[in-house]
Structure 1
């Protein structure tokens, strides 16, 4: 198992997976609390347009993806706030427009379907030292902000009206959540892929909710589950020769299934114990 560390691309991939596994659930917890679990999918499609612009112009795709995803995240938050467009319709427009523009621009850039596939579903061999440095910096920034501003972000996600009355700048923090989600998606696109990164933002949170009793407990446990799924998925993808994105997501879903089954068993045993006590 340790032989995989002899490969430089695996060391890069594991480093990126470490950052991704912590960062995606960190912001995903707030998205789930705000009932915007699908926001990551919409931003991911817009990020693909940014990747395509980078390939077309010869710029680092990670940089252009961050810019495009951030603009898309701000746009959807403003549409939700000011326009007469509901959140699901705004997300749908991001879905279709982002993927269509991305595929068209990648075709214009002359890149192959393999290049597109590596960004959509992740590729462990494409993480470079420069990518890892940028991923680490951006991921560290997202983690720092989510930890430092956790009370305000939670207030906005839990009850916008109450937060507004309490003096919290709801609009500003709403945009901040969207921007942090955009940065997280571009951080994760090398390992999980743009089409599946939303799953790593949501599934660990859903798994943590099966056993955690508080928002903070859910937040920390989701990050631990995300880290386990990301690292385990990358290692498994190397061993069985599969793409990392689907493998990481399946690992996260396995964690959810185990915790949900454990919770269900616990509830069943508690009911049986209560019935025995009532019968005596």
Structure 2
């Protein structure tokens, strides 16, 4: 494979694998608690961080991480209050982040909105060695949280009140999930792009849910799907000269369609088997 002869492709494939692991990992919890849109909102806020990185002549990824974490914590605090006005506040935060990014990038020396393109839609040619190392460090944190604390996080996502009664630090775990989602956005933005990162948090999870039942199985399969489509999409863009983010998301959608087609007859077969078992139990006088 000639694409592996180039250092920039090696870095891009490593970053893509990290995206494939981390985005579905945190996305499984967000989907479980019906917060699938959160990644999109964080991506909008992270744009301000990228722009600040250019303005202050520092690392856009680390600055985006800082701003995204602050924004994610703010989103979680607004959500936890449960007020009707929370939706308006979140909308202002989302679009304010995007507008702020566009304005700040134009204040940077030699800056223009064109500089944001690779961060918005992903670009395999702009992934530097520093970006790869940063993504790897952040990915370790994401995997440690999502896999190491999966029992506690699942309990909070399933029923916050029950988790609180059992003694779990619900507020801390909610904030930790928000921070982890923010970190995941910055891991993915160089490959998938800020505007498409939410898709990688949701679509592999939705695809996995079509053929799995348990939470752990869904988490594992979603991460596997994420890695496969991320690597395949990144490799494909080497040959067709297209934005990596678009290719990865389209492949993820294709996998979802295939999983849906496969799951439909399986679901019908399971339903028939369940009805047959119920009929047998009823005939034999067994209560089910």
Same fold by TM-score, threshold 0.5 exceeded? yes
Counterpart in the other structure of 1:191: 191
Cα offset, 1:88, TM superposition: 3.7
Unaligned runs of 5+ in 1: none
SS of the aligned residue for 1:195 comes to coil
Pairs aligned (count): 277
CA contact (8 A) 2:102 2:113 kept: no
Unaligned runs of 5+ in 2: 280-288
Partners of 2:13 and 2:71 lie apart in 1 by 29
Counterpart in the other structure of 1:261: 261
State which structure, 1 or 2, has the greater radius of gyration over its C-alpha atoms. Answer: 2
Partners of 2:264 and 2:275 lie apart in 1 by 17
Partners of 1:73 and 1:100 lie apart in 2 by 17
CA contact (8 A) 1:39 1:91 kept: no
Counterpart in the other structure of 1:131: 131
Counterpart in the other structure of 2:4: 5
4+ runs of 1 displaced by more than 4 Å?
268-276
Greater shift after overlay, 173-182 or 235-244? 235-244
Partners of 2:171 and 2:31 lie apart in 1 by 18
Cα offset, 1:215, TM superposition: 0.4
Cα offset, 1:86, TM superposition: 5.3
Cα offset, 1:97, TM superposition: 0.6
- CA gap 1:39/1:90 in 2 versus in 1, 3 angstroms: farther
CA contact (8 A) 1:50 1:68 kept: yes
Partners of 2:204 and 2:99 lie apart in 1 by 29
TM-score, normalized by length of structure 2? 0.91
Partners of 2:275 and 2:94 lie apart in 1 by 50
- CA gap 1:162/1:238 in 2 versus in 1, 3 angstroms: same
CA contact (8 A) 1:43 1:94 kept: no
- CA gap 1:148/1:221 in 2 versus in 1, 3 angstroms: same
Deviations 1:156-193 (A, max 9, x none): 10001111111111111000000000000000000000
Cα offset, 1:275, TM superposition: 10
TM-score, normalized by length of structure 1? 0.94
Partners of 1:275 and 1:92 lie apart in 2 by 46
> Within 5 Å, which residues of 2 pair with 1:53-132?
53-82=52-81, 84-85=83-84, 88-109=87-108, 110-132=110-132
- CA gap 1:78/1:270 in 2 versus in 1, 3 angstroms: closer
Partners of 1:17 and 1:193 lie apart in 2 by 11
Deviations 1:44-96 (A, max 9, x none): 01111000000011011001000000000001111122373555434322221
